Amino acid sequence: MASKQSKNLKASKSKKPLCKHTEDALENYFASLNGDRPGDLYDLVMAGFIARLDDLNKLAERSPGFIWRLESETEEAIAVQAFGNPKLLFNLSVWESLEALDHYVYHTAHAEALRLRRDWFEPSARASFALWWVPAGHIPDALEARTRFEALWADGPSPSAFSFRRRFDPTGTAL
């Protein structure tokens, strides 16, 4: 059942069909990145982040393996609030494979933004990125993402929520 908050959300306008997967990629996976930052999102400290955001989202949508990303009704990627804290940014996407997301995150213009994240976001003792497998055709919502983050924070990496450093395959076997 979709959360009340997710009823106001829609899929991105990617032309890639959601369920077009190979036999080997029947499970997709989700990634979420967030960070705390004091002050207004649009203050000068955040200007570099905000300036890159649309281009990075467009790059993700054009990237091999991209399936879907969560957007608000206004199509602002950063407008979704899954944790009740307006300073906590939230990004949710589905990809065909770990390799496809890994390539986007670490081998495209996104990698530069990742290197600069400490200029924009406060370091956190908790994981700021969670991955998990979902069945083909399933669209995770903000409530599901929050539940996965809470599991990662409470139990560390597991088949239910993991990181790039500690990965699990769709059967729950550590990689």
65 CB neighbour count, 10 Å cutoff: 21
Q: What is the pLDDT of residues 48-88, one digit of tens each?
A: 888 888 899 999 999 999 999 888 776 665 667 777 777 67
Identify whether 14 is part of a domain. no
| Lookup result for tokens 């494979």 | 97
What CATH number does the domain containing 50 carry? 3.30.70.100
Identify whether 153 is part of a domain. no
φ and ψ at 39, to 5 degrees? 85, 180
Res 1: pLDDT: 40
Enumerate residues 6+ apart whose C-beta is below 8 A from 114: 105, 106
What is the Rg, in whole angstroms, of the alpha carbon atoms belonging to the chain? 15
**104-129 mean pLDDT:** 87
Can you give the residue range of the structural domain that contains 101? Answer: 26-142
Which one has a higher pLDDT value, 134 or 23? 134
Identify whether 6 is part of a domain. no
Res 2: pLDDT: 39
Identify whether 154 is part of a domain. no
Which one has a higher pLDDT value, 42 or 52? 52
**Burial annotation 83-99 (CB, 10 A radius, 16+ → b, else e):** beeebbbbbbbbbbbbe
Identify whether 21 is part of a domain. no
Angle at 104 between CA 166 and CA 84, to 5 degrees: 70
Amino acid at 154: A
Identify whether 158 is part of a domain. no
| Lookup result for tokens 């879907």 | 68
Res 19: pLDDT: 33
Identify whether 19 is part of a domain. no
pTM of this structure: 0.74
Identify whether 17 is part of a domain. no
Tell me how far apart the alpha carbons of residues 171 and 47 are, in angstroms, rounded to a whole number.
Answer: 42
Which one has a higher pLDDT value, 169 or 85? 169
Instruction: Retrieve residue 110's tokens.
Output: 């996104």
How many separate domains does the chain show? 1
Amino acid at 28: N
